[in-house]
């Protein structure tokens, strides 16, 4: 049934493939039209040899035309044939490898222990001869005598004219110079043997130690050749180690032949699939479903469910049923007697059982309560059941037991309840064996964590572990609410690493990055992050699955365009990944194609000065020789990834030493071998990305403006959203040659490249579901501090990173007018001395005093106190160095420009008040200097 469903689904997908080029499934096509359709789908010429084979197997109309349905039928047949051949080749290779391994083990065991004589022949060397049949023998009984030196053997008579013996004979060989003679006799009527002919076999043609089949003619007693022939098979093994080594060579040749056949069949299948990318995705999904059905994870990978209640579900079910039955019976017994104890026990037990609040000691208490209830029921039954059983009873007993109908029913139900209570006591004892000693061992003490953990246990169930190290444990989990699969990453030791990753990803809104869906703390105070599950694994594993046949070019272009767009957005934010490897690019299978998710962002800023940011084989020339990592370094790593996808091998072997890589990059000697299977545009893109010198390598904007990349965007290999396409088209059509927002990175400086990364007080937007760690990201409230406290804090902040941060922001203020996501405007700064000259000219003009109190020499102390109070206020809020910088710029820049700078630099400070104070200070000092010069 599954096969038929798959066949129908495959046919529908193939029909949709042809509908994309406006060809209906029942449309009649000639062979030329048929080839044009395949060429149009492939965007180049389809293999004509394979096309002819398919065309010959199709049923044609009277005018040699075919339909798409007929092609689909033959296509599926050819696919099945090729798959069967591939499986057969794989089985053959497996069998040949087993045989070769067996022979190799034999060879290893005897190669050192074998003994040979002076002629190089082993001591127990034998010649094996098998007589098969005779040809053109007379119609008489024939006997055969075989002689070798002093060894003689005779074979019983057989009737002609084609006698068959099929018998093996062994002769010991000592020197290798011996000759085997065969004498054939016919037996006449008086039993007189008559020589029919002889054959002499030399051992010289048996030196290859394999079985050789010969057909030899017999010679009569005069040495004349006769028409009689004999078929025989012979083998001489004179050296076991040499014989086994020859057998190993034979098996190697057969394995190589089978592997070549396998590669040919896989290439044919890849050629068959190449025009139909959607069909290939369907095949992969079906194969993964079959793999998931037939393959179960090993027991060592199965994780224990987070819920701590016993996994013995039968006990749970029976306990739940028993308690409900006892509770129901107790309700009816209330018509005859009070059952408040049973009802209270049942009510509280059900609540604690369902909400997972039970532990071992509490179960013991419930067992004691049920036992007390049993004792009460037993006393009541003994007292009031005497009249019920027909025995002598008092008038009171008769009233309770016989004459009153509800009491009669209550007594019957009491006996039934008694039985179920006994069963319930047994089940409670069984459940208590798997319960924790105390409730604290099961749930955290904090109320928020209790609610969080209960919700987590309800919504997530661990399936199996993917990876674990001393720092992190990664598990594949399934959500009970939406039945979706996710990745759960638990930080075992370094919680700050996970927090940094959450902070960074919260600032980056990029579809192609692996985002955080949910984060929380578990009962062990460890950070737990829930992320999207990528069902296709990483790009390295995905690429290695294509060994033996080439990856489709459409898939390569699709993945490249997604990487290019992600890189474009990261460059706009001034963020450098530095660990852009095939292992850090995850894949998801969607109906529209494969989608990438880039991961491990936090690792890009964790390296120290003595560590490489990634394996040396991926690092560019400028990192080794210039000590820097720029925007163009990403292009080098993308070239590595593209080359790995087209060739299934790395540019440098994994074992290459760092010194060897540096030497090859210094000399410019790297080998880029790309198959002709791929288009010239893709080959050109890879060669451009792998340009060794950084000054000759293009950046991401130049890559996007290449003609080949523009054609790939317009085809499209990947369907971008409308907003994403507008974003791409803006940069492609703009006149900018580089994205000027980020700064170049030098590995001996700080790892942060922009204020968005440097800012220590980042407010994380609560856009995650079930965010349970608000205290981790709580921003500190800024309060006014005394001058002494501010002075100590200011001295602590004078670090190298702080200094570079200030320089960077100040340079941004001096050179950049405004910045947004899609455009960066640059204004060249006016020469500072030139502005001072203009200011001095303006100062020559008499200006009215700004303050109501004119400056006079006797009022200088008042002016000084006013200046000191305003300076102190500014220093307390923004620090001395920032105050000096803003004071120098207050007259050279527009107010809105400084306001934007202050709001970005100090978001919790009232920027207008601070700028007003600085402006007042500048005016006061200007008025004082003006008055002094005038006097």
* Residue 809, φ and ψ in degrees, nearest 5: -65, -35
**Is 317 found in the same domain as 217?**
no
Boundary of a domain, candidates 221, 238, 255: 238
Pairing of strands 460-468, 472-479: antiparallel
**Is 669 found in the same domain as 554?**
yes
Structure tokens at 746: 């030098």
Long-range contact pairs involving 460-466 (C-beta distance under 8 Å, separation at least 24) = 460/306, 460/486, 460/488, 460/530, 461/305, 461/306, 462/303, 462/304, 462/305, 462/306, 462/488, 463/297, 463/302, 463/303, 464/297, 464/301, 464/302, 464/303, 465/301, 465/303
Tell me the C-alpha distance between 695 and 747, whole Å.
18
All residue ranges of the chain with pLDDT < 70 are 1-6, 157-158, 160, 188-191, 287-318, 332, 334-339, 354-358, 383-409, 432-470, 480-483, 507, 548, 591, 601-614, 740-860, 891-896, 930-935
Q: Where are the alpha helices (DSSP H) in 399-521?
A: 405-432, 447-459, 495-507
Tell me which residue of 595, 438, 449, 437 sits closest to 522, measured CA to CA.
Answer: 449
Query: Is residue 781 one of the residues assigned to a domain?
Result: no
Tell me the C-alpha distance between 563 and 569, whole Å.
10
Query: Is residue 449 one of the residues assigned to a domain?
Result: yes
Query: Is residue 308 one of the residues assigned to a domain?
Result: no
3-state secondary structure string, 221-276? Answer: CCCCEEEEEEEEEEEEECCHHHHHHHHHHHHHHHHHHHHHHHHHHHHHHHHHHCCC
pLDDT at 417: 77
pLDDT at 779: 34
Structure tokens at 475: 């598990």
**103 by DSSP, 3-state: which?**
helix
**Is 805 found in the same domain as 930?**
yes
Query: Is residue 782 one of the residues assigned to a domain?
Result: no
* Residue 291: Cβ-neighbour burial (10 angstroms; 0-12, 13-18, 19+): exposed
pLDDT at 665: 82
**Is 254 found in the same domain as 163?**
no
Long-range contact pairs involving 351-354 (C-beta distance under 8 Å, separation at least 24) = 353/319, 353/320, 353/323
Q: What is the CATH number of the domain that holds 649?
A: 1.10.510.10
Say how many domains are in the chain. 6
Tell me the C-alpha distance between 179 and 175, whole Å.
11
**211 by DSSP, 3-state: which?**
coil
Structure tokens at 484: 């979706």
Residue whose pair of structure tokens reads 């004892």 in the numeric block: 429
Cβ proximity of 646 and 556 under 8 Å: yes
Cβ proximity of 745 and 585 under 8 Å: no
Tell me which residue of 780, 725, 759 sits closest to 906, measured CA to CA.
Answer: 759
**Is 710 found in the same domain as 632?**
yes
**Is 430 found in the same domain as 459?**
no
Residue-level length of the chain: 935
> DSSP assignment, residue 340?
H
**Is 726 found in the same domain as 711?**
yes
Cβ proximity of 520 and 492 under 8 Å: no
pLDDT at 193: 77
Per the DSSP assignment, residues forming a β-bridge with 187 are 193
Query: Is residue 87 one of the residues assigned to a domain?
Result: yes
> DSSP assignment, residue 676?
T
Tell me the C-alpha distance between 251 and 245, whole Å.
10
**Is 262 found in the same domain as 148?**
no
Tell me whether the omega of the peptide bond preceding residue 161 falls within 30 degrees of 0, making it cis.
Answer: yes
**Is 105 found in the same domain as 51?**
yes
Query: Is residue 307 one of the residues assigned to a domain?
Result: no
Cβ proximity of 717 and 558 under 8 Å: yes
Q: What is the CATH number of the domain that holds 755?
A: 3.30.200.20
Query: Is residue 777 one of the residues assigned to a domain?
Result: no
Cβ proximity of 628 and 744 under 8 Å: yes
**Is 713 found in the same domain as 797?**
no
Q: What is the CATH number of the domain that holds 164?
A: 2.60.40.150
> DSSP assignment, residue 120?
S
Pairing of strands 485-491, 472-479: antiparallel
**475 by DSSP, 3-state: which?**
strand
Give the DSSP H/E element, type plus range, for residue 747.
none
pLDDT at 288: 59
pLDDT at 23: 83
pLDDT at 777: 34
**Is 473 found in the same domain as 423?**
no
| Sign for the pseudo-dihedral over CA of 626, 632, 637, 642 | negative
* Residue 14: Cβ-neighbour burial (10 angstroms; 0-12, 13-18, 19+): buried
Domain that holds residue 584: 536-743
Structure tokens at 579: 């660990």
Tell me the C-alpha distance between 881 and 809, whole Å.
13
Within 47-163, strands assigned E span 126-135, 141-148, 151-159
Tell me which residue of 239, 217, 232, 241 sits closest to 169, measured CA to CA.
Answer: 232
Tell me the C-alpha distance between 289 and 283, whole Å.
10
Cβ proximity of 460 and 306 under 8 Å: yes
Tell me the C-alpha distance between 158 and 161, whole Å.
9
**Is 597 found in the same domain as 507?**
no
Query: Is residue 776 one of the residues assigned to a domain?
Result: no
């Amino acid at each position: 049934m599954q096969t038929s469903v798959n066949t129908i689904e495959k046919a529908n997908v193939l029909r949709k493939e042809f509908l994309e080029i406006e060809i209906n499934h029942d449309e009649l096509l000639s062979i030329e039209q048929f080839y044009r359709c395949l060429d149009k789908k492939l965007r180049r010429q389809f293999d004509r040899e394979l096309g002819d084979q398919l065309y010959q197997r199709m049923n044609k109309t009277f005018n040699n035309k075919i339909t798409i349905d007929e092609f689909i039928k033959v296509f599926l047949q050819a696919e099945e044939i090729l798959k069967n051949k591939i499986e057969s080749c794989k089985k053959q290779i497996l069998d040949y490898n087993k045989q070769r391994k067996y022979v190799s083990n034999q060879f290893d065991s005897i190669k050192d222990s074998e003994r040979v004589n002076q002629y190089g022949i082993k001591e127990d060397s034998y010649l094996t001869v098998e007589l098969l049949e005779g040809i053109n023998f007379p119609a008489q009984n024939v006997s055969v005598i075989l002689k070798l030196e002093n060894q003689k053997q005779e074979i019983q008579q057989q009737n002609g004219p084609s006698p068959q013996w099929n018998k093996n004979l062994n002769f010991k060989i000592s020197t290798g110079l011996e000759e085997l003679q065969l004498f054939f006799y016919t037996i006449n009527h008086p039993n007189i043997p008559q020589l029919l002919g002889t054959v002499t076999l030399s051992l010289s043609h048996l030196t290859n130690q394999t079985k050789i089949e010969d057909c030899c003619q017999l010679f009569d007693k005069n040495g004349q050749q006769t028409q009689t022939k004999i078929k025989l098979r012979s083998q001489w093994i004179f050296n076991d180690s040499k014989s086994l080594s020859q057998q190993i060579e034979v098996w190697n040749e057969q394995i190589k032949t089978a592997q070549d056949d396998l590669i040919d069949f896989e290439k044919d299948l890849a050629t068959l699939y190449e025009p139909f990318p959607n069909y290939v995705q369907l095949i992969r999904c079906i194969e993964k479903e079959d793999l998931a059905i037939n393959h179960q994870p090993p027991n060592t990978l199965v994780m224990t469910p987070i819920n701590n209640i016993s996994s013995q579900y039968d006990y749970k079910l029976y306990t739940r049923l028993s308690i409900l039955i006892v509770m129901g019976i107790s309700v009816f017994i209330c018509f005859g007697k009070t059952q408040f104890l049973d009802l209270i026990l049942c009510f509280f037990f059900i609540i604690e059982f369902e909400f997972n609040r039970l532990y071992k000691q509490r179960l013991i208490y419930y067992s004691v309560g049920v036992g007390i209830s049993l004792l009460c029921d037993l006393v009541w039954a003994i007292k009031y059941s005497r009249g019920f059983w027909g025995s002598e009873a008092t008038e009171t007993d008769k009233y309770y037991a016989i004459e009153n109908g509800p009491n009669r029913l209550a007594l019957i139900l009491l006996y039934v309840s008694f039985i179920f209570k006994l069963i319930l006591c047994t089940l409670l004892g069984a459940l208590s064996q798997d319960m924790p000693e105390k409730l604290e061992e099961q749930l955290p003490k904090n109320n928020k964590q209790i609610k969080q953990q209960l919700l987590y246990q309800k919504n997530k169930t661990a399936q199996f572990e993917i990876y674990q190290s001393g720092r992190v444990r990664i598990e594949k989990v399934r959500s009970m609410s939406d039945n979706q699969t996710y990745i759960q990453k638990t930080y075992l030791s370094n919680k700050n690493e996970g927090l940094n990753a959450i902070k960074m990803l919260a600032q980056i809104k990029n579809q192609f990055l692996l985002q955080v869906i949910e984060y929380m703390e578990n009962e062990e105070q460890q950070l737990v992050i829930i992320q999207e599950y990528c069902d296709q694994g990483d790009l390295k594993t995905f690429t290695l699955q294509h060994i033996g046949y080439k990856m489709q070019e459409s898939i390569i272009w699709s993945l490249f365009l997604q990487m290019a767009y992600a890189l474009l957005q990261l460059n706009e934010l001034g963020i450098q990944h530095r660990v852009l490897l095939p292992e850090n690019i995850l894949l998801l299978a969607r109906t529209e194609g494969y989608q990438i998710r880039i991961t491990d962002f936090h690792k890009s800023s964790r390296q120290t000065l003595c560590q490489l940011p990634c394996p040396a084989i991926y690092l560019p020339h400028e990192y080794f020789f210039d000590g820097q990592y720029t925007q163009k370094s990403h292009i080098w790593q993308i070239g590595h990834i593209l080359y790995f996808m087209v060739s299934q091998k790395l540019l440098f072997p994994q074992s290459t030493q760092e010194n060897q890589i540096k030497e090859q990059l210094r000399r410019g000697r790297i080998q880029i071998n790309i198959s002709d299977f791929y288009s010239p545009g893709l080959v050109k893109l890879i060669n451009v990305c792998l340009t060794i010198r950084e000054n000759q390598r293009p950046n991401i904007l130049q890559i996007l403006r290449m003609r080949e990349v523009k054609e790939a965007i317009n085809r499209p290999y990947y369907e971008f959203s409308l907003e994403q396409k507008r974003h791409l088209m803006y940069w492609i059509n703009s006149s900018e040659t580089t994205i000027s927002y980020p700064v170049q990175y030098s590995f001996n400086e700080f790892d942060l490249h922009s204020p968005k990364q440097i800012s220590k007080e980042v407010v994380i937007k609560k856009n995650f579901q079930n965010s349970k760690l608000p205290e981790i990201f709580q921003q500190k409230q800024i309060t006014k501090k005394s001058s002494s406290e501010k002075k100590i804090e200011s001295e602590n902040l004078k670090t190298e990173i702080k200094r570079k941060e200030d320089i960077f922001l100040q340079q941004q203020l001096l050179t950049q007018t405004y910045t947004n996501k899609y455009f960066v405007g640059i204004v060249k700064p006016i020469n500072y001395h030139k502005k001072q000259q203009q200011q001095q000219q303006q100062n020559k003009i008499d200006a009215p005093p700004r303050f109501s109190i004119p400056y006079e020499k006797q009022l200088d102390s008042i002016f000084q106190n006013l200046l000191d109070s305003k300076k102190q206020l500014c220093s307390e809020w923004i620090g001395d160095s920032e105050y000096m910088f803003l004071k120098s710029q207050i007259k050279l820049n527009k107010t809105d420009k400084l306001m934007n700078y202050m709001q970005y630099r100090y978001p919790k400070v009232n920027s207008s008040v601070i700028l007003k104070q600085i402006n007042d200070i500048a005016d006061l000092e200007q008025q004082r200097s003006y008055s002094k010069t005038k006097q």
